[in-house]
């Protein structure tokens, strides 16, 4: 009996995996194509309306400098969403890294002088990334070992990390950043800001990891079908742990970019980023239920929102009108998706929120 | 023995919360004689009122299986708009009118949430993220961006903000608004426990498909729910204006997760189907107790946020471990795999 059961279960799992893979392909193509189109359209739109301001090299450079930190935070949330979770603590982790680097630098600067501080900069940067790794590991532990739901665990750690940062800085903005880091923020290679290249490099590395390595496959399967993942011998603990550590590392890299743009750090920096980043990740074609996400889609979504933001500034519209546009784009894209999907009723839904998952009807 | 323990603990760990609150109160009383006074108590009540009203709205949404992050945007939108219209209008219509207009506006904004969520079956977190952005942007871009100080608030609203129920000489006062707040809390509790609508919300949050099959009109109930939550948020917004004696369109938005944390601490399940008004009240009180009085224990006030985060993690951690144990106990009869967790 158990033999037969196992056989059946095997077939079932294999069918499940194949189904997930098929769904994934459809979803991936759509997310990227849609975002690329949207990016080009918005760019052309603003370029025609305000060519003088919008196409100005300074403006384009500003887009390239402001986008990377948000892009990295988005990638950090994306990988957690890929496993069906979410990471609300990314901004707190980024600030933690920025505060660490800034205060280490200032401490060495005052005690041993400028030269020593500059010399030890690589160490500080490593310490910053180490903070991201550590905080990400705490998230991973809470989620995979203690078994807290990701949204709750990271809601709690967001408060905790942010609270600890407040304690550390005493609630004020601390200033000071390694000169090397600040130079990096101003450097451009062939007209392209170095920060943007960092985002591209990090995104490419993440894409390779997700799509070309066994670890990445495990992350995808964990999100697409945790049951199948477990029966395939994938340890959910190890997968989730790795996911949240990666998320922490990406977030801390974003924290270093905060510092390179502006040589000060505070616990409150970018508090509005949390929600913005989720908007970007979802726009980029990531399924909030897990299983599907593309790095390229998320990067394109980041650039699109940045283009819209700077285009609105060029049109002399306020940040609040940009907020309206941001919300409308998000809901518009979701509703369009839904309408499109409704026109083809025979295809079962990719898992939408649990209240909407239709139960299969037996005929 | 374990049965009485379970009863003491309450269906949503309310007993546990009471115990934690008592421990903190005792610790604070020992640490500082200044703590156990009427003025501390009144201050606690005063600071809990606004978060409580918002928390009740969050509770309703959580029970239905959703997450709302737009309630503060609705609250400040409705409150600021109605106060501004009251100032621009010719005659001071009184605070009741301000409340009525604000709640109508809130209900309308809630209707928008409800229609998009229920009609298009979209994830509630994503939809309310979008509407939050739209509401906040529309408020400041089109309704008004100017800070309205106490001097410019309608006279009747100003008067209400100075009304006290109990006034202990030299020992603080109990603000009048506690009366409507208490009434609202009781009404929400009755709504959840005694009405078909309230039970439907639990049913939808527990299992939407099952709710649909027993004949609950899911779409209509959800839309009505978000309308109600919108009105509740508007009430909280006006309360915030009255207690703070100013209307600032930039305030409130951004602290949604703090309120959600208090509700979750109060035992509501993020997956829907579970939660109580009593637990929510206790959760809010616990957070405010820590926020207001940590200093008395000799802990600097910068630790507030970290302490609340710690407490939240502890609370959900204990719940998760307990749930894990319960699952392991049923392994013999069920598949040893937990259902995929859903983010709504």
Interface check for B25 against chain A (CB to CB < 8 A): the answer is no
Compute the average pLDDT of residues A136-158: 90
- Averaged over successive runs of 10 residues, the pLDDT of chain B (344 residues) comes to 60 80 87 81 90 96 91 95 85 82 95 92 85 92 87 83 75 82 95 93 90 91 95 95 89 80 86 89 91 79 83 81 71 46 46
pLDDT at A137: 95
What residues contact residue B284 under an 8 Å CB cut-off, 6+ apart? B48, B51, B52, B55, B262, B263, B266
Residue of B nearest to A283 (CA): B126
* Distance between A187 CA and the closest CA of chain B, angstroms: 34
The whole-angstrom distance between residue B146's C-alpha and the CA centroid of its chain comes to: 27
- By the 8 A CB rule, do A354 and B212 touch? no
Residues linked to residue A75 through DSSP beta bridges, in sequence order = none
Which of B313, B317, B327, B339 to mutate: most A Cβ within 10 Å?
B313
Contacts of A324 in chain B (CB under 8 A): 133-134, 137-138, 141
Residue of A289, A301, A331, A350 to mutate for B, most B C-beta atoms under 10 A: A331
> Strand, coil or helix: what is B108?
helix
Q: Looking at the predicted structure, is the pLDDT value of residue A230 above 50?
A: yes
Whether residue A30 is predicted with pLDDT greater than 60 in this model: the reply is: no
Is residue B32 domain-resident?
A: yes
Partner-chain residue, chosen from B140, B218, B317, that has the shortest CB–CB distance to A148:
B317
Domain ranges, residue B261: 11-324
Q: Is residue B64 part of a domain?
A: yes
Which 8-state DSSP code applies to residue A347?
Answer: S
Query: Which two structure tokens, joined as six digits, stand for A50?
Result: 């305000």
Instruction: Give the pLDDT score at B115.
Output: 93
pLDDT in the model for residue B237: 95
**Average pLDDT of chain A?**
83
A129: confidence class by pLDDT, cuts 50, 70, 90? very high
The interaxial angle of helices B38-63 and B178-194, nearest 10 deg, is 30
CA distance A21 to chain B (A): 18
Nearest CA in chain A to B126: A279
Pick the CATH number of A18-347 from 4.10.240, 1.10.3470, 1.10.20, 1.20.120: 1.10.3470
Question: pLDDT band at A1, cuts 50/70/90?
Answer: very low
Alpha helices per DSSP H over chain B: 2-9, 14-31, 38-63, 71-88, 95-114, 120, 124-138, 155-160, 178-194, 196-206, 208-213, 218-244, 256-265, 277-293, 304-329
Residue A350 — very low, low, confident or very high, per pLDDT cuts 50/70/90?
very low
B65/A152 CB distance under 8 A? no
Coil, strand or helix: which one is B87?
helix
Assigned domain for B344 exists: no
> Does position A54 have pLDDT exceeding 90, yes or no?
no
Mutate which of B71, B130, B226, B294 to disrupt the A interface (most A C-beta within 10 Å)? B130
CA distances from B72 to A46, B43, B285 (A): 32, 22, 19
Alpha carbon distance A149, A199 (integer Å):
29
Judge contact between A79 and A251, C-beta under 8 A: no
Per-residue pLDDT tens digits for A231-258: 888 888 888 999 999 999 999 999 999 9
User: Mean pLDDT across the stretch A72-78?
Assistant: 95
Pull the structure tokens for residue B205. Answer: 């949050």
Least confident of A2-11, A175-184, A340-349: A340-349
**Chain B residue closest to A141 (CA)?**
B317
> Which residue out of B65, B210, B263, B309 would a mutagenesis test of the A interface target, given it has the greatest number of A Cβ atoms within 10 Å?
B309
Neighbours of A214 (CB within 10 A): 8
Classify residue A68 as exposed, middle or buried by CB count within 10 Å of its CB (0-12, 13-18, 19+): buried
Closest CA to A281 of B152, B125, B330: B125
Higher pLDDT, residue B203 or A175: B203
Which of the two residues, B253 and A178, has the higher pLDDT score? A178
Looking at the domain assignment, is residue B96 inside a domain? yes
Quickly list H helices, A50-149.
51-54, 57-82, 90-119, 121-140
CB contact at 8 A, A206 and A295 = yes
For A270-304, write each residue's pLDDT tens digit.
877 887 898 899 888 887 777 788 899 999 999 99
* pLDDT per residue as tens digits for the range A297-341: 999 999 999 998 888 888 888 888 888 888 888 888 788 777 765
CB contact under 8 A, A324 and B270: no
DSSP B209-257: HHHHHTT--HHHHHHHHHHHHHHHHHHHHHHHHHHHTSB-TTSSTT-HH
A276 → chain B, closest CA residue: B129
Q: Are strands B164-167 and B173-175 parallel, antiparallel or unpaired?
A: antiparallel
Cβ pair A322:B134 closer than 8 A: no
Q: Is-contact B144 B82, C-beta < 8 A?
A: no
Dist. CA A84–CA A221, nearest whole Å? 10
Going by pLDDT thresholds of 50, 70 and 90, the confidence category of residue A134 is very high
Confidence at residue A20, expressed as pLDDT on a 0 to 100 scale: 59
Q: Name the residue with tokens 């990096």.
A: A184
Q: Give which of A124, A150, A121, A122 is closest to A136, Cα–Cα.
A: A150
Whole-number Cα distances in Å, A221 to A21, A230, A240: 9, 9, 11
Q: Which of A45-59, A86-100, B295-309 has the lowest mean pLDDT?
A: B295-309
Number of domains in chain B: 1
What pLDDT was estimated at residue A191?
A: 78
Q: How far is A81 from chain B (nearest CA, A)?
A: 10
Q: What are B164's strand-pairing partners?
A: B175
On whether residue B330 sits in a domain, the answer given is no
The reported pLDDT for the residue numbered A246 is 94
């Amino acid at each position: 009996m158990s033999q037969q059961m196992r056989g059946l279960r095997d077939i079932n799992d294999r069918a499940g995996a194949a189904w997930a893979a098929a769904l994934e392909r459809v979803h991936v193509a759509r997310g990227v194509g849609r975002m690329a189109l949207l990016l080009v359209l918005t760019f052309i739109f603003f370029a025609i309306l305000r060519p003088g301001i919008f196409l100005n090299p300074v403006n384009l450079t500003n887009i390239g400098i402001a986008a990377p930190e948000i892009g990295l935070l988005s990638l950090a949330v994306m990988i957690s969403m890929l496993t069906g979770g979410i990471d609300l603590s990314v901004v707190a982790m980024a600030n933690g890294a920025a505060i660490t680097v800034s205060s280490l630098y200032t401490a060495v600067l005052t005690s041993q002088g400028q030269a020593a501080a500059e010399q030890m900069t690589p160490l500080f940067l490593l310490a910053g990334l180490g903070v991201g790794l550590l905080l990400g590991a705490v998230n991973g532990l809470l989620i995979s070992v203690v078994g807290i739901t990701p949204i709750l665990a990271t809601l709690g750690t967001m408060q905790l990390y942010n609270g600890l940062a407040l304690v550390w800085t005493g609630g004020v903005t601390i200033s000071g950043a390694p000169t090397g880091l600040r130079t990096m923020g101003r450097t451009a290679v062939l007209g392209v800001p170095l920060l943007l290249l960092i985002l591209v490099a990090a995104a490419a590395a993440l894409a390779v990891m997700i799509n070309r390595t066994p670890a990445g496959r495990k992350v995808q399967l964990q999100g697409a079908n945790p049951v199948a993942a477990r029966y395939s011998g994938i340890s959910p603990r190890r997968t989730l742990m790795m996911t949240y550590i990666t998320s922490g590392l990406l977030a801390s890299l974003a924290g270093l970019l905060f510092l390179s743009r502006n040589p000060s750090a505070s616990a409150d920096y970018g508090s509005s980023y949390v929600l913005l980043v989720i908007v970007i990740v979802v726009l980029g074609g990531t399924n909030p239920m897990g299983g599907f996400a593309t790095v390229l889609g998320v990067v394109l979504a980041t650039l699109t929102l940045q283009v819209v933001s700077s285009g609105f500034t060029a049109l002399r519209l306020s940040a609040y009108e940009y907020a309206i546009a941001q919300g409308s784009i998000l809901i518009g894209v979701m509703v369009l998706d839904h309408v499109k999907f409704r026109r083809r009723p025979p295809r079962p839904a990719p898992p939408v929120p649990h209240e909407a998952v239709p139960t299969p009807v037996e005929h | 023995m374990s049965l009485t323990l379970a009863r003491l603990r309450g269906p949503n760990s309310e007993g546990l919360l009471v115990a934690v609150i008592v421990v903190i109160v005792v610790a604070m009383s020992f640490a500082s004689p200044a703590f156990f006074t009427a003025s501390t108590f009144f201050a606690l009540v005063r600071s809990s009122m606004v978060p409580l009203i918002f928390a009740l709205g969050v509770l309703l949404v959580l029970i239905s299986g959703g997450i709302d992050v737009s309630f503060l945007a609705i609250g400040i939108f409705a409150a600021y708009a109605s106060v501004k219209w009251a100032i621009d209008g010719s005659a001071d219509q009184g605070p009741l009118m301000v409340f009525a207009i604000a709640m109508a506006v809130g209900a309308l904004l809630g209707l928008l949430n409800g229609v998009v969520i229920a009609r298009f079956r979209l994830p509630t977190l994503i939809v309310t993220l979008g509407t939050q952005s739209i509401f906040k942007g529309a408020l400041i871009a089109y309704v008004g961006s100017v800070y309205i100080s106490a001097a410019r608030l309608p006279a009747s609203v100003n008067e209400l903000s100075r009304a006290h129920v109990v006034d202990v000489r030299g020992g603080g006062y109990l603000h009048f608004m506690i009366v409507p707040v208490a009434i609202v809390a009781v009404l929400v509790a009755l709504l959840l426990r005694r009405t078909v609508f309230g039970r439907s919300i639990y049913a939808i949050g527990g299992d939407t498909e099952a709710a649909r099959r027993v004949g609950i009109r899911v779409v209509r109930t959800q839309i009505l729910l978000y309308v109600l939550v919108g009105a509740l948020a508007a009430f909280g917004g006006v309360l915030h204006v009255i207690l703070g004696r100013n209307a600032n369109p930039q305030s409130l938005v951004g602290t949604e997760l703090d309120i959600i944390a208090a509700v979750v601490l109060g035992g509501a399940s993020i997956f829907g189907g579970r939660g109580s008004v009593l637990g929510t009240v206790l959760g809010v009180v616990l957070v405010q107790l820590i926020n207001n009085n940590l200093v008395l224990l000799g802990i600097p006030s910068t630790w507030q946020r970290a302490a609340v985060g710690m407490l939240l993690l502890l609370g959900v951690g204990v719940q998760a471990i307990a749930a894990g144990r319960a699952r392991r106990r049923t392994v013999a009869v069920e598949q040893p795999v937990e259902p995929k967790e859903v983010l709504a």
